[in-house]
Structure 1
């Protein structure tokens, strides 16, 4: 559990992180509180915006109206665009119990308004015809979120998942039992945060595409890592086979457990 908490801090949490209690009050997210949250003893909503109005975790939700298959297809479209069109590191994928989520980690926090614009432009650029844009307001995935893994009121578990497993959760994006900390750690430890230059270049490209920034105002081109090849384990595969998933998990010393649905 300690290693999982460390990875969550590395990717998504501030040094002084806060959470929202059931009565609406804010409290410090101590390691003890986070451990209770991850173990299912007491689920809390993590405040993704700090007191200075900065954000370092961008959470995009794909749920609400429409079919689960379409939500998963939309997530894959955005995830692959992040890597191939914008040259950004692979995000994490999770199921929240009611929706699919993408988790983007920023190495350096940015103002909330900039984070909101980035996410909104991602959707309008790569999902221009998706009804999912109307189903999830910006604040729902930017200002607070329940950090996976955690237990939902429905009794289902939110959890990070293999990036090719989403289609299996189209009808029910949640787990019946708690995921193992080792498996959750395996999904996170190879992820990289988005560097400031990478984020600035990607935002400028999205702004230019939307006609919001003149060419002269676009950030100068900065050398960033090339997008991963199709065989990279970080790529989000919309139609990964069972063999792909098992191979990916075994490479990280994770023994897979699959749920079987009987009609």
Structure 2
């Protein structure tokens, strides 16, 4: 128990996050606590990224997605090997440890950029970087099964049901964690820069199409009555309300008057 508590503290917990006795009760299954991965002043110490089944995933889609992200973290972003866990119900989690806690806004940005780059089909909670989590090993309070860290090579076998009927051996949990390293400051900065470079560009808005002077002259010659929204003018029951009109409405109105409008289009430079 002491070795496991030491590894969990080394990788994921701020000193003030939970007492040693409370964590021991949590690990033993006597209680299940939602534990913060943040410091007392709100800095993020670790990430726990969930991978749940979504419609169209098939049996192992969420596991395949986790593998894609885990491999990219190492091969493309240059980060240490993450831990992998099952949540005791129907999801996996990737666990990333930070050697130095970072501001919550920066942590949330990192997760959002990671999502955009590698799993854009999933939404991310606005407090994903700071929300408390059930730290393995522990009993899932909803399913009654155990959450635990697992060997990545066995991950696919938990795709149908991501929980254990019995508590995992503590020595095995220590073994999955003791060889892992935290992300150091320079590794985190470089990964964040790489993700920012991959950020999808914001689509440019199409320029507005100006209305020709002929159309404006025609409108001046055939003024529309201004009325509150949804009310037709008493004197012109069939006329178009100017404040409700679209360009298509204006064209139809002019056609009804045997007026052929012309338009100029500005091509973007």
Considering the TM-score relative to the shorter chain, is it more than 0.5? yes
Q: Secondary structure at the match of 1:164?
A: helix
Contact kept, 8 Å, 1:149 with 1:157, in 2: the verdict is yes
Deviation at 1:85, TM superposition (A): 0.1
Which residue in the other structure is 2:125 paired with?
A: 137
User: C-alpha root-mean-square deviation of aligned residues, in Å?
Assistant: 1.5
CA distance in 1, matches of 2:40, 2:16: 10
Deviation at 1:16, TM superposition (A): 1.1
Deviation at 1:161, TM superposition (A): 0.2
Which residue in the other structure is 1:106 paired with?
A: 98
Structure with the greater alpha carbon radius of gyration: 2
| Residue 3, structure 1, aligned to residue 3, structure 2 | yes
Where do residues 158-177 of structure 1 align in structure 2 (5 Å cutoff)?
158-177=147-166
> Structure 2 residue aligned with 1:84, among 75, 97, 105?
75
Deviation at 1:51, TM superposition (A): 2.8
CA distance in 2, matches of 1:63, 1:211: 24
Deviation at 1:180, TM superposition (A): 0.6
CA distance in 1, matches of 2:35, 2:25: 13
> Structure 1 residue aligned with 2:119, among 121, 127, 143?
127
Contact kept, 8 Å, 1:4 with 1:181, in 2: the verdict is yes
Q: Which TM-score applies when normalising by structure 1?
A: 0.72
Which residue in the other structure is 1:63 paired with?
A: 52
Which residue in the other structure is 1:207 paired with?
A: 196
Which residue in the other structure is 1:146 paired with?
A: 134
Where do residues 16-31 of structure 1 align in structure 2 (5 Å cutoff)?
16-17=16-17, 29-31=18-20
Which residue in the other structure is 1:48 paired with?
A: 37
Contact kept, 8 Å, 1:61 with 1:141, in 2: the verdict is no
Contact kept, 8 Å, 1:120 with 1:138, in 2: the verdict is no
Contact kept, 8 Å, 1:11 with 1:106, in 2: the verdict is yes
CA distance in 1, matches of 2:129, 2:159: 19
Deviation at 1:150, TM superposition (A): 0.1
Deviation at 1:46, TM superposition (A): 0.3
Q: Which TM-score applies when normalising by structure 2?
A: 0.70
CA distance in 1, matches of 2:54, 2:119: 15
Contact kept, 8 Å, 1:92 with 1:191, in 2: the verdict is yes
Deviation at 1:164, TM superposition (A): 1.5
* Structure 1 residue runs without a partner (length 5+): 18-28, 213-263
Deviation at 1:61, TM superposition (A): 0.2
CA distance in 2, matches of 1:38, 1:152: 11
* Structure 2 residue runs without a partner (length 5+): 202-269
Which residue in the other structure is 2:66 paired with?
A: 75
The superposition leaves residues 128-178 of structure 1 with CA deviations (integer Å, 9 ceiling, x where unpaired) of 3x3xx13x5243564210100001122110000001111101110111110
Q: Secondary structure at the match of 2:25?
A: helix
Which residue in the other structure is 1:36 paired with?
A: 25
| Residue 14, structure 1, aligned to residue 5, structure 2 | no
